[in-house]
Structure 1
């Protein structure tokens, strides 16, 4: 359900590698394309036709699925290339994946930032083969195939070959070295060897004339003989692909162990940024896995942009801002601040080159930028980064692009009329105006800040005062109830618009199903009427539904943080586990896993508002290595609860914050500034089985609150 894969990855690296079956949506596994209910199996066994590179992580119906450059070890004739063999004895750890094909070949893959290294251990065979299919792309599902537009492949002798395929408008180059002494190397086309040929060129490829092509290495295989395949990748040509290979693999032959060790060390450095104590083994496993999934995407390919010649950061697989801006980007800012700044630099450059900040950005050229999902979300991350004061970015230049972007796409209608449909874009744009106003004010442009601030008030135009909910409109993956509890920049005014605390709380309680009968979840092939009836409930759809991710924390502004504790702890206990189906829906490039990390720590970042909300954590103690120092969350009175995968079969009462201190001083509010968290400190939370008055009166700040005395 999470749509992740167990393949080899490097933290926020460009390259991944995994066994390929053609299944949805990563290329690994058993399942067919599915967006509702329980997924159906495509195959009756776990299988693979080889090992591909560049996989999505946790996405849904994104339509673009990579899986380029398939490497297949074989003891069969070339005619059998493309068939799948059973997989067994799988082993996976950060940066490493291994499995055995039922042909008897043990297969191992590891990756660096821009390289992949394969190691195959063969049984005795008179004709062992390693086949590299350069035409490979996409999935074995309807409309899932990716066809190269142009290609060039060259055999250079002495175990070396290179090639470039233009996929989705992007030139992907690979430089290959194969350690197979005594084996012959050849090019092949349409499963036929080209004896003596050293180059293939394809100027125009269509779906109708595509025939597979690539490189092949073959010879007698001794029992236990290993063949190492080293692949350097680049988006700027074969020469740079070769340099990338040299940089990570060195000049002196086999390098599997070297690359694996370096990547394992990088993963350790990243994962050690957050440490937890206490909790059950299952809960710690889910937490570690969530942290790992949070650090796979976006992909960073420094100095690799195929669209502009300059050096510097280039990021892709931002799939999408709608999925990651609330949870994952604040996590990167906390534990990978350099990469967080690089992402913003890359997005600013994309805006400079293409004219707008993308909502989603893949390794592709074209207008498929997910604009229907949302508007102007990069503004939140940029404003937060500037407020923290750590990223080395030309903020004045960033402000220019932020202001320009506010007038593009749906922004033009919002600028002219103060409201736009789909109505959720009104909320997006009003929020982006507020974030941009904060940056303008920080840079000393008060006139611009005042003008932008006025537009930011347009969020009220999205709501119907008669219902306290959003106006009727079209909605992307949700309805007006799902979007109505977004954490706005003026939650005090938002609650007043709904009729005050009691009315707002009544709507929130209805949304989360307090007092309602349980809802039966859809199974395989749910009928359209069944799904429509579910959506008509206007209920919380789950944490993988992006509008619903932040809704539990809306209770903080209404003076009921205990409700947040009940909902979040229930989700952490019942919706996540250690086995298949252990994620309650698409992981969405780490957005859902990042939610789990923050929720387990007892914090929630409010993107664009430079603050964190406090909730009861899931662990006795946690420490985050923040840019300014270690931030520790410790508890007293925590009850270590099992989770559903521990065999839990009963409802557990929630645990509530009774009192809090920050660095030894009493903390009466349910919130902290982002600056306070990022500079490090010690937050102590005393927990108990009943909600108290803690945090009910001292609510998180809202724009319409009177300023504190020192600012008046």
Structure 2
């Protein structure tokens, strides 16, 4: 032991004189030991960096309690998301429910979405016995809890059937194990299968027609192919079509196609021996087997059945074992996502939080490059964007840092959608813009990319033109019953008021929320116009970015404070209780957040917000009130909503008024108490990874101010983190270290940035991300005023 070696009370050996030979051998030993230690250190770091990080991903995290995450099988940003569909009489947004009955296992899903379910198509359902009516009730119960891990999913059904799943980016594999009995063993392929919605409001998906054909394969077994057309879902999309190509390689396979309809509970079905069926009626095929072990491979395309078969044969050739698919999928996640952030820390729960969050923020959007049926383009194409209103605050900034190549493709895709459809999406799925909730927040995303120097193959003149379209041209009204005051499809439908008055009247839904976000959107245009030397435009949009102030009523009061964002019309401010947002829905003045929450959301104009709020000391007290238990009128609840995007930035606003310690305290408390790596571990809907990316920023000890190259400083949870900042040779890295930290000692005592003492509670993209860098934190149990430099910038304030 080290203490014993240095113990001067130990017995002293007799004196002796070293010989030259001994000195030579001794020095050689020292040098060899040093070299060995150096090599072992390098090997240790390599092992830590290359170790299996997928074991820390809990793929069931957030799948219950309204998190709506997808626990099935997918590659990063993969088109295929293969998993179970369960029926409970309520919406299964990702297909999954912890209770209910299985209705099928389908190829396409989304993760963490709300509004209404989407997809649940290209389905198979295993059934025991004689299938006299394939459209009858062939649901099955869960015999035991599903097993899920990265690249693998297993369900055990009440009938005794086991279903195991694996997938690539554009194909999937089903492995069925039926009970070894004489009872019939079948798989129903129902082309009309979709995830239903029970919410009303006309958001339920509809099957519109399809076709299926079955042929014998040359080397035995059956191959089926066809297509299905559908519409609607959360983005109210018109007709879209998916093509499929599936194989049952078992030589015992037989089939019957079917055609029928389900009318008010009375199902009329006609079986057929035809090889091909094409109809607007419900249709499909029943495949039957004598074998107890059956494998099915299925490819998917949005272009053609031939493309679907190509995807199948290229990605899952006949004979591919499930174990290889699982191993390959885990490697994709390891190499493309998880290894972007490494640490030597061993706290299991923190590792599970870290890597599970990285996993879930990387399921969607979907990379459908080469699979867009609407136009020919050399540009990338990304779909299933749910939604930039949810993602622009945290997720897209982290997407940029961790996936710079995919992020540039994503920006190019947004601009290319504008080229061909007239507007960038705030949300998009099945090749259709839809569900623009508040602002045109693609503007924020493009501005964030621009000010951080993202160039590559992006045409920024086109990008700016797409932003100007949002800022100047009213989109046609799509007559959404949720809000008929203007388009919910794309753009900014409340522009008439915005351009005429500089505020938004109640004749438009979500008026106050829109005013806040239109201001931020216009600030995004200012940033890009300034960079492109469009000085007149820059001045115009900077002035427009201050229009949120026109909704600030200094006489509105709540909980002892004066001044809040309220509705207004031509006659002035409208009385509003800052503790109420009415229904907080599409037709209300505020969307999914209280006036209290939105009154902290002018993040580009914070200095003015602080002034209007009564100064720095009062601003701190207002922030404190957001986190005060019972302030919302309940016994323990807070005005801060941990599962709500308009609340995301609020804990970090303390940085602007000299209380960085409270930013650390509040954000850490929320993340520790409201987020957990468990099935019920999210405080609300994942919103396509928005919740997970917020938690990641808290753990990293930084927070992005979207549209500005600014990151507010928090407090890291790990003793060391290494973030890979490129998709090339991996040489560009950000190293984050902490000393002195533990569960009770997390306040920043001092900080070095790139080896230099740092006195600001913020850093820029150029400081640590553009070329890599280092952050060295010293943490402790006491609050310290370690920063004496200028506060974070407030670029729109004058």
In 2, distance between residues paired with 1:21 and 1:87?
Answer: 14
Deviation at 1:685, TM superposition (A): 0.9
Helix, strand or coil for the counterpart of 1:588? coil
In 1, distance between residues paired with 2:594 and 2:633?
Answer: 20
Residue 510 of structure 1 aligns with which residue?
625
Matched, 1:106 2:198: no
Helix, strand or coil for the counterpart of 2:208? coil
Deviation at 1:494, TM superposition (A): 1.8
In 2, distance between residues paired with 1:456 and 1:705?
Answer: 10
Residue 215 of structure 2 aligns with which residue?
156
In 2, distance between residues paired with 1:399 and 1:29?
Answer: 40
Residue 352 of structure 2 aligns with which residue?
285
Does the aligned pair in 2 maintain the 1:486–1:547 contact within 8 Å?
yes
Matched, 1:630 2:733: yes
Gaps of 5+ in 2: 1-64, 232-238, 261-267, 475-492, 506-510, 556-561, 569-588
Aligned residues: 650
Alignment of 1:483-632 (within 5 A): 483-486=598-601, 488-513=603-628, 519-520=634-635, 539-627=638-726, 629-632=732-735
TM-score by length of structure 2 reads 0.77
Residue 700 of structure 1 aligns with which residue?
792
Larger C-alpha radius of gyration, 1 or 2? Answer: 2
Does the aligned pair in 1 maintain the 2:768–2:774 contact within 8 Å?
no
Residue 15 of structure 1 aligns with which residue?
80
Helix, strand or coil for the counterpart of 1:177? strand
Q: RMSD of aligned C-alpha atoms? A: 2.4
Q: Structure 1 434/483 Cα, relative in aligned 2: closer, same or farther at 3 Å? A: same
In 2, distance between residues paired with 1:152 and 1:172?
Answer: 11
In 2, distance between residues paired with 1:511 and 1:145?
Answer: 37
Helix, strand or coil for the counterpart of 1:149? strand
In 2, distance between residues paired with 1:302 and 1:511?
Answer: 43
Match of 1:413 among 489, 497, 511: 497
Residue 72 of structure 1 aligns with which residue?
125
Helix, strand or coil for the counterpart of 1:599? helix
Greater Cα shift, 90-99 or 122-131: 122-131
Q: Structure 1 462/682 Cα, relative in aligned 2: closer, same or farther at 3 Å? A: same
Does the aligned pair in 2 maintain the 1:559–1:697 contact within 8 Å?
no
Q: Structure 1 64/350 Cα, relative in aligned 2: closer, same or farther at 3 Å? A: farther
In 1, distance between residues paired with 2:499 and 2:130?
Answer: 64
Greater Cα shift, 509-518 or 409-418: 509-518
Q: Structure 1 178/471 Cα, relative in aligned 2: closer, same or farther at 3 Å? A: same
Does the aligned pair in 2 maintain the 1:568–1:599 contact within 8 Å?
yes
Residue 563 of structure 2 aligns with which residue?
468
Does the aligned pair in 1 maintain the 2:548–2:602 contact within 8 Å?
no
In 2, distance between residues paired with 1:81 and 1:231?
Answer: 24
TM-score by length of structure 1 reads 0.86
In 2, distance between residues paired with 1:30 and 1:277?
Answer: 35
Residue 228 of structure 2 aligns with which residue?
165
Deviation at 1:542, TM superposition (A): 2.0
Alignment of 1:228-307 (within 5 A): 228-250=295-317, 252-254=318-320, 256-269=322-335, 270-278=337-345, 280-307=347-374
Deviation at 1:488, TM superposition (A): 1.6
Residue 434 of structure 1 aligns with which residue?
523
Deviations 1:159-205 (A, max 9, x none): 11111111111111111111111211331234857342011112x4x
Alignment of 1:160-199 (within 5 A): 160-168=223-231, 169-190=239-260, 194-199=271-276
Alignment of 1:310-459 (within 5 A): 310-363=377-430, 365=432, 369-371=434-436, 373-390=437-454, 391-407=456-472, 408=474, 409-421=493-505, 422-459=511-548
In 2, distance between residues paired with 1:484 and 1:654?
Answer: 32
Does the aligned pair in 1 maintain the 2:94–2:117 contact within 8 Å?
no
Does the aligned pair in 2 maintain the 1:14–1:113 contact within 8 Å?
yes
Does the aligned pair in 2 maintain the 1:171–1:306 contact within 8 Å?
no
Deviation at 1:464, TM superposition (A): 2.2
Match of 2:110 among 33, 45, 56: 56
Residue 185 of structure 2 aligns with which residue?
128
In 2, distance between residues paired with 1:654 and 1:512?
Answer: 21
Deviation at 1:654, TM superposition (A): 6.6
Does the aligned pair in 2 maintain the 1:304–1:311 contact within 8 Å?
no
Does the aligned pair in 1 maintain the 2:379–2:416 contact within 8 Å?
no
Deviation at 1:75, TM superposition (A): 2.2
